[in-house]
Structure 1
Amino acid sequence: MEILELKDIQGIIIRGYSNLPAAAFLLLRISDPTLAKKWLHVVSPEITSGEERKPELALNIALTFNAMAALGLNKQVLDTFPLEFEDGMITKHKQLFLGDFGESAPDNWEWGGKNTDEVHILLMLYATDAGALQNLQDKHIAQLGRYGLSEVTKLDTSVLYERKEHFGFQDGISQPTIKGLSRQDEPENMVSTGEFILGYKNEYNQYTPTPTAGDKDAAECLPPSKAKLGKYDLGKNGSYMVFRQLKQDVELFWNYMQKSTQKENGESDAKEMVKLAAKMVGRWPGGAPVIVCPDEEIKDHNNDNKFDYRSVDELGLRCPFASHIRRSHPRDALDMDRLASMKVANKHRILRRGRSYGQPVTEEMKPQDILQVKDIQGERGLHFICFNADLGRQFEFIQNAWVNNPKFNGLHDERDPIIGNHHYPSDHKTTGTFTIPDKTLRKRFTDVPEFVTVKGGAYFFMPGIRALKYLSCL
Structure 2
Amino acid sequence: MAGTALSRRGRLAIERVDEDDVQALVFQGYGKLRGACYLVLEVVDPARARGWLASLVPRVSAGSGRPDGRAVNVAVTHEGLRRLGLAEASLAEFPVEVQEGMTSPHRSRLLGDVGAAAPAGWEWGGPGSPSPDLLLLLYAPDDEQVARLRDEEAARAEASGLRLVRALDTHDLGPVEHFGFRDGVSQPAIAGFGRPGPAMHTVRAGEFVLGYRNEHDQVPPTPTVDAATDRLDVLPETAGGRRDLGRDGSYLVVRQLEQDVHAFWRFLDQCTRRADGSSDGAARTRLAARMVGRWPGGAPVTQSPEHDDPALAESNEFGYAADLAGHVCPVGAHVRRTNPRDSLPPKPGTDASVAVGKRHRLMRRGREYGPPVDLAGVLAGGELPRWDDEAGDVRGLHFLCLCADVARQFEFVTHTWALNAQFDGLYDDADPLLGGHLPTGHSFTEQAVPVRRRTRGLPAFVTVRGGAYFFLPGVRALRYLAALGG
TM-score, normalised by the number of residues in structure 2: 0.93
Q: Could you say what secondary structure the match of 2:469 adopts?
A: strand
Q: Are the equivalent residues in 2 in contact too, given 1:361–1:370 (CA < 8 A)? A: no
Q: Which residue of 2 aligns with 1:460?
A: 470
Which sections of structure 2, spanning at least 5 residues, go unmatched?
A: 1-13
Q: Which residue of 2 aligns with 1:58?
A: 71
Q: Which residue of 1 aligns with 2:210?
A: 198
Of 289, 294, 317, which aligns to 2:305? Answer: 294
Q: Which residue of 2 aligns with 1:411?
A: 426
CA distance in 1, matches of 2:436, 2:205: 31
Q: Are the equivalent residues in 1 in contact too, given 2:158–2:164 (CA < 8 A)? A: no
Q: Which residue of 2 aligns with 1:357?
A: 369
In the TM superposition, what is the alpha-carbon distance from 1:366 to its structure 2 partner? 4.4
Q: Say whether residues 1:26 and 2:8 are aligned partners.
A: no
Q: Are the equivalent residues in 1 in contact too, given 2:16–2:192 (CA < 8 A)? A: yes
In the TM superposition, what is the alpha-carbon distance from 1:102 to its structure 2 partner? 1.1
CA distance in 1, matches of 2:279, 2:117: 31
Q: Which residue of 1 aligns with 2:137?
A: 124
RMSD over aligned Cα atoms: 1.4
> Per the alignment, do residues 204 and 423 of structure 1 end up closer, same or farther by CA in structure 2, a change over 3 Å counting?
closer
Of 116, 122, 127, which aligns to 1:114? Answer: 127
Q: Could you say what secondary structure the match of 1:147 adopts?
A: coil
Q: Which residue of 2 aligns with 1:265?
A: 276
In the TM superposition, what is the alpha-carbon distance from 1:248 to its structure 2 partner? 0.3
Q: Which residue of 2 aligns with 1:179?
A: 191
Q: Which residue of 2 aligns with 1:445?
A: 455
Of 235, 238, 241, which aligns to 1:230? Answer: 241
Moved more, 371-380 or 250-259: 371-380
CA distance in 1, matches of 2:226, 2:337: 42
Q: Are the equivalent residues in 1 in contact too, given 2:113–2:437 (CA < 8 A)? A: no
Q: Which residue of 1 aligns with 2:4?
A: none
Q: Which residue of 2 aligns with 1:99?
A: 112
CA deviation vs aligned residue, 1:17-51 (integer Å, no higher than 9, x gap): 00100011100000000000000001111101124
Q: Are the equivalent residues in 1 in contact too, given 2:111–2:415 (CA < 8 A)? A: yes
Q: Are the equivalent residues in 2 in contact too, given 1:320–1:436 (CA < 8 A)? A: yes
Report runs of 4+ in structure 1 exceeding 4 Å deviation: 363-366
In the TM superposition, what is the alpha-carbon distance from 1:365 to its structure 2 partner? 7.8
CA distance in 1, matches of 2:378, 2:21: 42
CA distance in 2, matches of 1:184, 1:369: 42
Q: Say whether residues 1:391 and 2:391 are aligned partners.
A: no
In the TM superposition, what is the alpha-carbon distance from 1:373 to its structure 2 partner? 4.3
In the TM superposition, what is the alpha-carbon distance from 1:411 to its structure 2 partner? 0.5
Q: Which residue of 2 aligns with 1:136?
A: 149
Q: Are the equivalent residues in 2 in contact too, given 1:167–1:365 (CA < 8 A)? A: no
TM-score, normalised by the number of residues in structure 1: 0.96
Q: Are the equivalent residues in 2 in contact too, given 1:362–1:369 (CA < 8 A)? A: no
**What is the total number of aligned residue pairs between the two structures?**
465
Q: Which residue of 2 aligns with 1:281?
A: 292
Given residue 417 of structure 1, which amino acid in structure 2 is its aligned partner? P
In the TM superposition, what is the alpha-carbon distance from 1:187 to its structure 2 partner? 1.1
CA distance in 1, matches of 2:273, 2:342: 35
Aligned pairs for 1:42-57 within 5 A: 42-57=55-70
Q: Are the equivalent residues in 2 in contact too, given 1:402–1:408 (CA < 8 A)? A: yes
CA deviation vs aligned residue, 1:347-381 (integer Å, no higher than 9, x gap): 00010000000000117584457921420430000
Q: Which residue of 2 aligns with 1:423?
A: 438
